[in-house]
Structure 1
Amino acid sequence: MLNTRASREFWLLALMALLVLGTGLGLRDPWPSDEPRFALVAKQMVDSGDWLFPHRGTELYSDKPPMLMWWQASLYSVFGNWRVAFLLPSLLAALGTLACVYDLGRRLWTRRVGVYAAWALLFAVHFSFQAKKAQIDPLVVLFITLANYGLLRHLLCGPAWRWWWLGWFAAGLGVITKGVGVIALLMIVPAALASLLGWPRVRLHVRDWRFWLGPLAFVLATLLWLLPMAWTALSSGSTEYRAYLDDILFRQTAKRYAQSWDHHQPWWYFLATMPSMWVPAILALPWAIPAWWRRLRRRDPRYLLLLGWWLLIVLFFSIPHGKRDVYILPALPMFCLALAPLLPGLLRRRDVQWLLGAFTALLALALLVAGIGMLAGDPGFERRLMGQRGVGTHVTAALGWAGIAMGSWGVIGLLACGRRRFHLAAASILAGVWVTYGLIGYPLLNDSSSARGLMQQVGQRIGPDAELGLVAWKEQNLLMADRPAATFGFKRRWYRQLHDARTWQAQQPQRRWLLVQEDAVLGCIDRNAAERVGVANRRGWWLVPAPAFGGVCRPSAAELARIAREQGQDEDEQ
């Protein structure tokens, strides 16, 4: 009977995870700011056959290691569909993270604790939101969580040397996914403290020679990519490859951490981020803190390792000036795992249930107000949405009805679940939001958000035999183009791109067109002879034929300052 119940609970969790995280797969193209960049790099890997040195257009892309792009390119080779391949790594990584948390909770405590930990993680807004995006973060969270899984299996359930080695190896994979993968190894710090203080159950076994195979496994994982990449870059004699090597190994890792040049935030930024992004699990924190303290006083090393690592991650990312909410996402699985043993008792408390009910009611009310506002509210809101996103009234109306439907679903959930089960109402409305977002939001917003609609319009306007060049372009423009498009650099200043594009166009003026971002349309372009084709991603775009040019394209001081400012903002998005 217990086995049957355990099986039902596990499969309910698995099916709900697939529903919440997987709904919408294949219904949209990559959306900015990061998704088109990675998908474009992966597509160029497949097209060129060069998987070692990623390219964005004609330039090498050295901002991030290529692990995610490898996954996307590999899955495209299997499924042959970019709409599936670009999002599937995030889905698989999120499911893998949930599996690690579930099994770790089962082994450190009980099967029931593992189920609670996975449910808390699944419905944490930060986790679900990132799992439905094709960014590097879900993948690095998987490798960091897998590293924690292996280390904890050894430190708390061991000795288990194979899991110890796997933990170090997974941390190395995290490094070549996104340099911060090394933070998984901070788990050893509270473990060492517990061992020195003589706490039960935890031992490092430093004197055993097998301990030192862990760092070797870490180095081996990092060399899987670093060794062939560095060897090729150094032996080729190419200055471009050498610059790629220097940038990705030094500027984008240690220098980016020590001298952050973007996303500047105060030291307490994450103290504000976690309460807003980790709901609803974080709502239990006021009751969890004293309970954790009592267990730490009883010298329970499970809480010391999990909570100590969480605090170390927050401290680590609070030191540099540059901060983003996704930086501490890897700490969320261990937070949910530390919280899970307390949840059965906390959910029986009336005050906890009322807090969850208030959260659900506020979310439902916000959705209802937003939906009604889109349908019958301030028309200026609709105009702003149409102007910034390039969507029509049919989209805003459909989004309005979707908001009303989700808010109504939340109200029904509150009434149906009752005051003793408001946690089910919270899970219900969150599931409804993510499913509606995938089934309705994806198709409605795809053309404008992905630039597919814009690029289709451009292709129809210039005809099938014309050639297209891109100036001040974004990754989604090249990715969604219906033909091979000429580019003139990506990070180069826009007026220099425009100069080279004009030269290229002049070679065959009758059949070559330029698609130029509105901010890069200088005074040398006659706007009356050009054509404004639309708005995508809050940017206007112009089709420029050869006769529209007149005079020398030299930006004025004001235009130069504006271009530098706009291009600097685009670089900050990356």
Structure 2
Amino acid sequence: MRAERSTLLWIGLWLGVVAAALIARPLMPMDETRYLAVAWEMWLGGDFLVPHLNGETYSHKPPLLFWLINAGWAIFGVNDWWPRLVAPLFGLGTLFMTARLAGRLWPDRPDVARLAPFIVMGSLFFTIFTTLTMFDMILAFFSVLGLCGILTAWRGDYRLGFAVLAVAIGLGVLAKGPAILLHTLTVAALAPLWGPKLSTAKTNWAKWYGGTIGAVLLGAAIGLAWAIPAAKAGGPAYAEAIFWGQSAGRMVNSFAHGRPWWWFIAALPVMVLPWAIWPTLWKALPGAKSAISSGAGRFCASWFVPAFIVFSAISGKQPHYLLPEFPALALFAAFLLTHLPDPCKRPRLTMALPAALFVLVGAAVASAPFLPVSLPFVVEGLQPIGGIVLIVATLVIVASARPGIHLAVSNLTALSAAAIVAAHLAAGPVLTEVYDVSPVAKKLASWQKAGHPIAHYGKYHGQFQFPGRLREPVAVIGDGNAADWLAQNPTGKIVTYHRNEPTGATPEIARRFRGKWMIVWDAATATEDPDILKRR
């Protein structure tokens, strides 16, 4: 497969997956709606220095994503689609940077650069996340960019290489805080492990580590160019939150709750499906011993292993923490696959196990609404068409399989993309029914515009701000101040959540939401019976 055709193919798969997400599913509470709420309040208030959520300073994330969303709105006008494209575009950029990094690591083996983006894109977890408005794809992009800078410096262009690393660190800090250092700095620090194997040129280690420290300091300066003015403008509490909460504070807190040390060991094979059950890759694994002794193999290990150990050591584990390491796994796997003698002579047979998994999943989705058993509402609401599409796509891709490692890898990636598209076809309607807050948010906006105060009973994540284009904060009330708020706002509306559909008093709105019921009460009704506000 020619390089240009290969690139166009994984771009096309990315386009299909992202288009399916944009068309079929709503913004997902609470993360996506929260981040768009922050961007919306930045747009409304014109304060691009200190992010706000529901009228209060928002310290949980740095501002880069919000800046990028606002930049798009400045060009295209306020819309729903641009914010949902920002993170996916960085996912696409990560594929390009992975190919570029492969070309730097294996300049004499262009096949690795062709395969690696497919392996990244074909990993189901990465493919799912590339459709979400989250910070991790941005972090992954700058991580790979920083590693390209490290290799450029190692090849002899210190000035350009460390400048690229510095920019990657700085923008990575603005994307998701100091986590970028774990994904990049360990590779630079472990250069004595991989460097001499990658190049026999004599290295001035003082110059190398001096350049690394300089890149870190310059990257920190980029981050501090925002953080210091923001800390002054946001006040002492905000300053403490962004300097402590973004780094040590969050790390310390992660030990107080979470998952056991072995959790990533168990989760990783699932995260990299279908590659984990592809016999051809297992067949290539014996070559890992010789691969890890090469400079490029050690580079990938220096990238993946330290991050994996650190994230396994902290108990507050989230699967997306490892997304910046997916390219490392893909590069290593691509290198192994290109060294297989006579690979994939019987492509349909080698695809049988992954294909069987997709067919079984498709059959389960297609039959779920018709099973004579009680299932969760979301499962019962799945559309059979999604399962049917997945089965048909799998059979077509397997039937069209031809010998060759490039075709086999691209076929499996196409299967993964088809699975994500089918998942959106199957789940899109029910996700819209139980996760889409837009109908309620727009009604709240009309009430707010008409002069009715809006309150939220319990913790509020800003989920109504952007979908409703609310221009005023929502009051947050609870058991301690609900009575006072009702007395002061007799025409107000209160959003509450109940386990079951309410009986008795008639609410303004009752709608399924994330396994519960979202209820909007009129203040007069709640004043007559304040207990209806409490969850039950």
Give per-residue Cα distances to partners, 1:162-194, cap 9 Å, x unaligned. 023212320232122112111111102331234
Aligned with residue 365 of structure 2, among 365, 370, 385: 370
Give per-residue Cα distances to partners, 1:193-223, cap 9 Å, x unaligned. 345x777447653343x86344334333333
Q: How does 1:158-237 map to 2 (within 5 A)?
A: 158-179=156-177, 180-183=179-182, 184-194=184-194, 200-201=199-200, 205-208=204-207, 212-234=210-232
Matched, 1:385 2:378: yes
Structure 1 counterpart of 2:174, which letter? Answer: I
Matched, 1:315 2:329: no
Matched, 1:478 2:462: no
TM-aligned CA deviation for residue 536 of structure 1: 2.0
Distance in 1 of aligned mates of 2:205 and 2:35: 41
Distance 1:47 1:29, change over 3 A: farther
Find the counterpart in structure 1 of residue 249 from structure 2: 255
TM-aligned CA deviation for residue 95 of structure 1: 1.4
TM-aligned CA deviation for residue 315 of structure 1: 0.5
Structure 1 counterpart of 2:334, which letter? Answer: A
Q: Is the 8 A contact 2:62 2:176 kept in 1?
A: yes
Aligned with residue 60 of structure 1, among 57, 62, 65: 57
Matched, 1:435 2:421: yes
Q: How does 1:128-143 map to 2 (within 5 A)?
A: 128-143=127-142
Secondary structure at the counterpart of residue 431 of structure 1: helix
Find the counterpart in structure 2 of residue 331 from structure 1: 325
Distance in 1 of aligned mates of 2:525 and 2:249: 44
Aligned with residue 401 of structure 1, among 385, 391, 395: 385
Q: Is the 8 A contact 2:507 2:520 kept in 1?
A: yes
Aligned with residue 100 of structure 2, among 85, 100, 103: 103
Secondary structure at the counterpart of residue 495 of structure 1: coil
Give per-residue Cα distances to partners, 1:64-85, cap 9 Å, x unaligned. 1121111112112222243222
Distance 1:438 1:205, change over 3 A: farther
Secondary structure at the counterpart of residue 470 of structure 1: strand
Find the counterpart in structure 2 of residue 390 from structure 1: none
Distance 1:136 1:355, change over 3 A: same
Aligned with residue 528 of structure 1, among 505, 508, 518: 505
RCO greater where, 1 or 2, for CA within 8 Å and sep 6 or more?
2
Secondary structure at the counterpart of residue 29 of structure 2: coil
Distance in 2 of aligned mates of 1:341 and 1:431: 23
TM-aligned CA deviation for residue 317 of structure 1: 0.8
Q: Is the 8 A contact 1:468 1:515 kept in 2?
A: no
Q: Is the 8 A contact 1:447 1:454 kept in 2?
A: no
Distance 1:81 1:203, change over 3 A: farther
Give per-residue Cα distances to partners, 1:454-473, cap 9 Å, x unaligned. 3356678x697352413134
TM-score (norm 1): 0.81
Distance in 2 of aligned mates of 1:17 and 1:541: 34
Distance in 2 of aligned mates of 1:160 and 1:554: 67
Secondary structure at the counterpart of residue 78 of structure 1: helix
Matched, 1:469 2:454: yes
Q: How does 1:523-562 map to 2 (within 5 A)?
A: 528=505, 530-550=507-527
Q: Is the 8 A contact 2:496 2:520 kept in 1?
A: yes
Distance 1:306 1:228, change over 3 A: closer
Distance in 2 of aligned mates of 1:10 and 1:476: 37
TM-aligned CA deviation for residue 339 of structure 1: 1.7
TM-aligned CA deviation for residue 505 of structure 1: 1.4
Find the counterpart in structure 2 of residue 494 from structure 1: 478
Give per-residue Cα distances to partners, 1:209-261, cap 9 Å, x unaligned. x8634433433333334344424534x5xxx6211111121134212213316
Distance in 2 of aligned mates of 1:335 and 1:431: 19
Distance in 1 of aligned mates of 2:201 and 2:302: 14
TM-aligned CA deviation for residue 113 of structure 1: 1.4
TM-aligned CA deviation for residue 533 of structure 1: 1.7
Find the counterpart in structure 2 of residue 124 from structure 1: 123
Structure 1 counterpart of 2:496, which letter? Answer: V
Distance 1:531 1:552, change over 3 A: closer
Structure 2 counterpart of 1:151, which letter? Answer: I
Q: Is the 8 A contact 1:410 1:425 kept in 2?
A: no
Aligned with residue 518 of structure 1, among 498, 519, 524: 498
TM-aligned CA deviation for residue 526 of structure 1: 10
Distance in 2 of aligned mates of 1:74 and 1:254: 31
Single out whichever of 308-317 and 341-350 deviates more from structure 2: 341-350
Structure 2 counterpart of 1:469, which letter? Answer: I
Distance 1:296 1:417, change over 3 A: closer
Single out whichever of 272-281 and 217-226 deviates more from structure 2: 217-226
TM-aligned CA deviation for residue 144 of structure 1: 0.7
> Identity of paired residues, percent?
21
Secondary structure at the counterpart of residue 205 of structure 2: coil
Find the counterpart in structure 1 of residue 435 from structure 2: 449
TM-score (norm 2): 0.86
User: Where in structure 2 are there 5+ consecutive unaligned residues?
Assistant: none
Distance 1:443 1:167, change over 3 A: farther
Distance 1:447 1:478, change over 3 A: farther
Find the counterpart in structure 1 of residue 275 from structure 2: 281
Q: Figure out how many residues of one structure are paired with residues of the other and give that number.
A: 525
TM-aligned CA deviation for residue 295 of structure 1: 3.3
Find the counterpart in structure 2 of residue 566 from structure 1: none
Distance 1:454 1:259, change over 3 A: closer
TM-aligned CA deviation for residue 422 of structure 1: 5.7
Secondary structure at the counterpart of residue 254 of structure 2: coil
Distance 1:436 1:149, change over 3 A: same
Give per-residue Cα distances to partners, 1:66-125, cap 9 Å, x unaligned. 211111121122222432221111122011111111112123223221010111111111
TM-aligned CA deviation for residue 359 of structure 1: 1.3
Q: RMSD between aligned alpha carbons? A: 3.5
Find the counterpart in structure 1 of residue 86 from structure 2: 89
Distance in 2 of aligned mates of 1:203 and 1:360: 49
